[in-house]
Amino acid sequence: MRGANKTQFSEFLLLGFSEDPALQPFIFGLFLSMYMITVSGNLLIVLVILSEPQLHTPMYFFLVNLSLVDICFTSTTVPKMLVNIQTQSQNISYAGCLTQMFFFILLSVLDDVLLAVMAYDRFVAICHPLHYTVIMNPWFCVRLVLICWIISVLHAFLQSLMVLRLSFCLHMEIPHFFCELSQVIHSACSDTFLNDLMIYIVSMLLGGIPLAGILYSYSKIVSSIRAISSAEGKNKAFSTCASHLSVVSLFYCTGLGVYLSSAVSQNPSSISAASVMYTVVTPMLNPFIYSLRNADIKRALKRFLGWKLCTAQCLWLKMH
């Protein structure tokens, strides 16, 4: 059988959350709603920032990039799952699975390193305010984002090439709603020791280094805020970090929750349900966190929505 099981003829079965037909409409409606909220919420943040000149600063430049990444991140997994539910099919081709896996790895790492870059931006703004405009100049900000992309693309290519060396049997089942790297590797018919070792090493580096940078930045930020004499100054300094700190906490807590659930529980349904937190829920909540906890975003959002409403009313009056 191994001679006939060439990877180019393989296909995978995404088992999803439940095979119960009665639950499929509920799952479809739930994930479609969350996907629409995620896309519309993050897109609104992008449009508001782009339309407001006062928000054309490094902090919001990185936020625009994070919102766009979150849209793409969710779009790599949810639409395929919705199509599978609608067509009552669990199939995904070998090429399609690798493509989904590649972009999922790329965008998840990009999310991680962008959060570290945003922490560095807040560190410079609070700890070195007089040099902020010099250090965080537009060209330097663009280079930081480019470095994030290069790191993410190289990592995704490395992991994908490691998967390409594996042999797969026909019609392999993946107990997940998308082609998650470790699930794909453990579905292989060949030895996966090098793949597991690579995942462990790279996860330590790409997970540990950005997290260490974030913790270091916020340790310095806290020290600087404590040195501020006035309560108003402390509140103003902390308010600029509150949204980012909330997003960082949500991202790492959900990621840690998925890791612990996979280590403690061998139930695929539990692992899939935990994965929803960082693949769907976190990108969906990010726009709400930034819009509710950020005064500048709230003011710009009111102006943007007010202008849109006024434009719509003017067009309606002209038509009638």
Q: How far is CA 207 from CA 96, 127, 173, 251, in A?
A: 26, 25, 28, 11
Query: CB-based contacts of 128: which residues, under 8 Å, 6+ apart?
Result: 135
pLDDT in tens, 52-92: 888 899 999 999 999 999 999 999 999 999 998 888 888 88
More confident residue, 272 or 174: 174
The residue type at 256: L
Higher pLDDT: 299 or 142? It is 142
Q: Give ∠ CA 229-230-233 in degrees, rounded to 5.
A: 110
* CATH architecture, range 7-319: Up-down Bundle (1.20)
User: Per-residue pLDDT averaged across 266-293, rounded?
Assistant: 78
pLDDT for 261 equals 60
**What pLDDT was estimated at residue 264?**
58
Average pLDDT over residues 21-26: 84
pLDDT at 139: 96
Over residues 200-213, the pLDDT tens digits come to 898 889 888 999 99
Sign of the four-CA dihedral 11, 19, 284, 255? negative
Q: What percent of the chain has pLDDT over 90?
A: 41
Residue 171: per-residue pLDDT: 64
- Tell me what pLDDT residue 306 has: 67
pLDDT digits (tens, 9 = 90+) for 4-13: 444 444 688 8
**What is the model's pLDDT at position 108?**
93
For residue 2, pLDDT over 50 is answered with no
User: pLDDT higher for 300 or 100?
Assistant: 100
**Across all residues in the chain, what is the average pLDDT?**
84
Report yes or no: 104 and 163 within 8 Å, Cβ to Cβ.
Answer: no
pLDDT at 57: 92
Per-residue model confidence as pLDDT tens digits over 108-135: 999 999 999 999 999 999 999 899 999 9
Binned at pLDDT 50, 70 and 90, residue 220 comes out as very high
pLDDT, tens only, 145-167: 999 999 999 999 999 999 998 88
pLDDT for 66: 94
**169 φ, ψ (degrees, to nearest 5):** -80, 165
| pLDDT for position 216 | 94
Tell me the whole-structure pTM to 2 decimals. Answer: 0.88
**pLDDT for residue 304:** 73
Q: What is the pLDDT of residue 3?
A: 42
| Res 298: pLDDT | 77
Question: Residue 294: how many CB atoms within 10 A of its CB?
Answer: 22
The sign one gets for the Cα dihedral 96, 99, 103, 105 is positive
pLDDT at 35: 96
Q: Is the pLDDT of residue 229 over 80?
A: no
